[in-house]
Structure 1
Amino acid sequence: MTDRILFVDDEINIIQAYRRTLRNKFNIQGVSNGDDALELLRTGDYAVIISDMQMPGMNGIEFLAAAKELKPDIVRVMLTGNADLQTAVDAVNKGDIFRFHNKPCHADILEKTISDGLRQYRLVTAEKELLEGTLTGSIQVLTELLSLINPEAFGRISHIKNYVHSIAKELEVQESDIWKFDTVSSLALIGCIILPDESTQKISRGEKLNEEEQQIFDMHPFVGSDLINKIPRMNEIADGIKYQEKLFNGQGVPIDDVRGKDIPLDARILKVVLDFDRQLSSGKTSTEAINVMLGQSSHYDPDVLATFQQCLLNENHTVEIVKVENLTEGMFLTEDLFTRDGQLVICKGQETTPSVCTKLKALCSNKAILDSIEVLNKNSRDDEKLNGTSEEKIAVTS
C-alpha cells in the first residue's frame, strides 16, 4: 500500500467512513477542501484523487482541473450527489476524470474504481519511466559517441545541456518535464552531421560561414527534427529542435508565422544558450557575449535571457589542474585539448563522462597528450575561464 489515495470532501464523516472500510486495502488520506488538497499535491505524491463535486469555495471540477495542471499523471475520480449532464460533461472536459460516480457510492464500487485507478497510474508512470530512463540513457550514449568521433561539432553538447537544464529549473518547469529539456539540448546539434568538416571547424572557432555553408547550416534543425520524429512520442522534442534557430521576433528558420511565446519554450532556451556559446567560441568573455545579445534583444525571449543572466551570476569559478590519471566524472575542460601532433581530442566545456575519462587516460598512457589538464570541478562552471580570461587556478591534484 505504498501508493497513496487522496479523498477530498467537505463532509468529513464520509471520508472517515471510507477510510474505515478500505483501510486494509489502500493508503487513504483525506482533506475537506480543494485548497488544502492542492497544497498536499505540491508537497507529496498521490496515485488517485477522489473528489466531491459540491464543496465550499473551489468545487470539484475546479479542483480536479487544478490538480491535473499540477500533477497530470494522477488518476482523477469524481463523486457527486447532483449528477446532471452538464456536471458530467464539465468534469470530463475540464478535469479529465477517470471515473464519475453518484453519491452515495457503495464501497465495493469505490474499491474497484480505486484498484482500476491504481493500475492506470502504474501503467502511465511505468511507461513514463521507460521513456525517460531508457531513452535518456540511449541518448547519452549517442551524444558521447558523437562528441568523441567529432568534437568540433558535438563537443559542447554537455556544456549546452547543463545551461538549458539550469534555465528550465529557474523558470520552474515542472520536474516531470525537465527530461524533455535535457533531451532537446542533448539532441539539438544532431542535424550537424550534414555539415562538412571545414564548416564545423569554423563554427568551433567562432568564424563566419560563407553563404553556401550558412545555407547548409540552416538546414541542420530540420534534419535533426526529421530524424527525431521517427522515434515514437518524440514529436515535442522534434519541435524544440526544429525551432532552435527561430528568433523571438518571428524571423529566422523555419520561415513561418510562429513567433514570441508561441515558439516552444525549449527552443527559446536553446536559442539563448546556443548563441551565447557561439559568442564564447569567437573569443568573447561571458560579459562581452551577454552584452552583444542584449543589443539584439528582439532575438530572444526576455524572460529566458534574464534568467540566463542570473544563472551566470550564480556560477562558481574554481579551476583545478588535474593529472589525467585522476580525472573523475563531472568535471569540465576549460581549454580545447589537442594531441601532441595537433589533433583536437576534446573541446573546451565538454564534461568528463566515463567514456571521455577512459579515452584521455588511454591517450595519456601512450604519451599522446600531456599528463595534466585544466578543469572545473563537478559543482562549478566558469565561462570566463573557458575563454582564457580568468587567472584563478588551484595547484595540480596529484
Structure 2
Amino acid sequence: MDKIADLVVVADPDLDVQAGFQRLFGAQMKVVCFSESDPALVFLKKNHGTAVVFTCFNLPGRGGTAFLRTAETIVPLATRVMLTRETSAEAIKKTINEGHAFLYLEKPCQQGDLKSAMEAALYHHRQLAKERALLERTLAGSVKLLIDMMALFHPDAFRRTGTVRKQALKLAKQLDMKKTWELEMAVMLSPIGEALLPKQILARYRAARSLTEQERDILDRAPVQTRDLLKNIPQLEKVSEYLYLSGRGFNGSGFPKDGPVGEDIPMVARIIKLLTDLWYASPDSGPDAAAFEALAINRRKYDPKLLALAMTVLVDDLPESRKKHVAQCHIRSLRPGDILLDDALTESNHELVLSRGHTLTPTTIRRLEHFHQASGVRQPLLVERHEVEKVVKEPV
C-alpha cells in the first residue's frame, strides 16, 4: 500500500509563493494553496489530517494571526508557520502569542531555509500525533474501565453501548470517517446522563407514559449533566459537545431548543441520535424493517442520508455467515470472548443483569455466577462464539 502523502495548506495571496511551494514540495507531499482565509478554513474543516499550515501576516480575510488561531481549533495537530515580510516586534508578538505559531519566517526565504522549516514542521506534527495517539489509547482504556464499572451498577442505562458502538463503526466506515475515536467515546459515554436520572422517571419514559412538566425538564437536562461532567476532561471537550447535541433533531426539534439545525449539527451527534432511537425501536435480534418503519414516522428528526445509509447497512445485522457461531449456553459453559446476543435477566423479577452486546470477560462471567447464586439467572443464554483453534507445538 502506498504511503499517504503529508498534506500541507498554504494560505498566501502571492502566486509566486504558491508556485514555489508546489515546485519545492509538490512531488513529495500534497500541497493545497489558497489566497484568502475563509476558503482555507473550509478546506481544513474537511481535512483534519492536515500536517502543516503556512500563512502570511496580511492574509486577505481575517488576517494571518486570526487565521492561525482558528486553524488551531480545527486542526490542533497541524504545525502552524508564519511566512511574511512583516518584521516588526508587534507582528512577531501577535504571531507567537495569539496565533501560536511554531515558526516565524521572513520573506524572501531561501529554498534551503524553507526546506529546513518544512522538515522541522513535519517532525513537530508527527510528534504531536504520536503523543495524541498515546493519550487517546490511555484515555480510551480508562473510559472502557469506567463504563464497565458503571454498567455493573446501572445495567439498564448502559445496555445499548456495545450494540450501538458496532453499528456506529459500520456507518463510519461507509461515511469514510478517517478517525472514529471521538465517535466511539461519545457512544460509550452517551448513557451517563441517563444513569444519573431518577429511576421512576426513566421507567415512565420507557413505558411511553406521560411525564409532568418537572419530570420532562429533568429528562431534557440529561445532556447538560453529561456535558458538565466531561467538558473539563482533556481530549473530551468535543465529545461532551457532541453528547450535548445528541438529542437534537435534524429538523430543529428536541434539546436544546436553540441548538443547530440540519447539517450544522455535528455528524457524531446525528449518528448517536439515530442509533439510540433505532436501538429502542429494534427487537433483541437487531434492527429490522419494522424498526426503521417506526423511525420513518418521525423521519424529519433524522439526517435523511444517514437514515437511508443505516437502512442499507444495519438491517438484518446478524447475517447467515455469523449465525453458525450462535450458541445457547448455561453460565457454567460461558467463555471469555463470548458475545451476549440477548439480555441476561434474573429468573424471578426479570431484573437486567447484563445487557446484550457485551463481550464477556472473566469478571462479567463471575458477575453472572454471583447473580445466579443469589437470585437465579434465566438460562440458557444466547451468545455468539467464535472457536479459536488450539495451536499444537511440535516436539523439538
What is the distance in 2 between the residues matched to 1:260 and 1:11? 41
> 1:312-369: CA deviations, max 9, x gaps?
1473342322354554555432322123444431123434355424433555688944
Change in 2 beyond 3 A, CA 1:287/1:7? closer
Displacement of 1:122 = 3.5
Deviates more, 1:343-352 or 1:262-271: 343-352
> 1:284-313: CA deviations, max 9, x gaps?
972211101112111111011111111214
8 Å contact from structure 1 (residues 189, 221) kept in 2:
no
Change in 2 beyond 3 A, CA 1:367/1:259? closer
1:43 aligns with none
Match of 1:344 among 324, 339, 352: 352
SS in 1 for 2:327: strand
What is the TM-score of this pair, normalised by structure 2? 0.69
What is the distance in 1 between the residues matched to 2:131 and 2:277? 35
The one-letter code matched in structure 1 to 2:218 is I
Change in 2 beyond 3 A, CA 1:353/1:73? farther
The answer as to 2:132 corresponding to 1:128 is yes
Displacement of 1:164 = 2.1
Any gaps of 5 or more consecutive residues in structure 2? Answer: 10-17, 72-79, 84-104, 388-396
What is the distance in 2 between the residues matched to 1:244 and 1:111? 45
Match of 1:195 among 191, 197, 209: 197
Change in 2 beyond 3 A, CA 1:124/1:141? same
Match of 2:230 among 228, 232, 254: 228
The one-letter code matched in structure 2 to 1:140 is K
Match of 1:266 among 261, 268, 272: 268
> 1:85-141: CA deviations, max 9, x gaps?
66999888499652536577253x356424532442134213421442122111111
RMSD: 4.2
Any gaps of 5 or more consecutive residues in structure 1? Answer: 16-29, 39-50, 52-57, 380-398
Deviates more, 1:63-72 or 1:184-193: 63-72
5 Å-filtered alignment, 1:1-398, equals 31-32=26-27, 37-38=29-30, 69-70=46-47, 72-76=49-53, 93=67, 97-98=80-81, 100=83, 105=110, 107=112, 109-110=113-114, 112-114=116-118, 116-173=120-177, 175-176=178-179, 178-201=180-203, 206-212=206-212, 213-280=215-282, 286-313=288-315, 315-317=317-319, 318=323, 319-325=326-332, 327-328=334-335, 331-342=338-349, 343-353=351-361, 355-360=363-368, 368-369=376-377, 372-377=380-385
> 1:167-204: CA deviations, max 9, x gaps?
2222222x23x11111111111101233223344556x
SS in 1 for 2:253: coil
The one-letter code matched in structure 2 to 1:184 is A
Bigger RCO (CA 8 Å, 6+ sep): 1
What is the distance in 2 between the residues matched to 1:322 and 1:156? 22
8 Å contact from structure 1 (residues 156, 349) kept in 2:
yes
> 1:62-81: CA deviations, max 9, x gaps?
99886885353513458xxx
The one-letter code matched in structure 1 to 2:344 is L
SS in 1 for 2:282: helix
- Percent identity, please: 22
SS in 1 for 2:381: strand
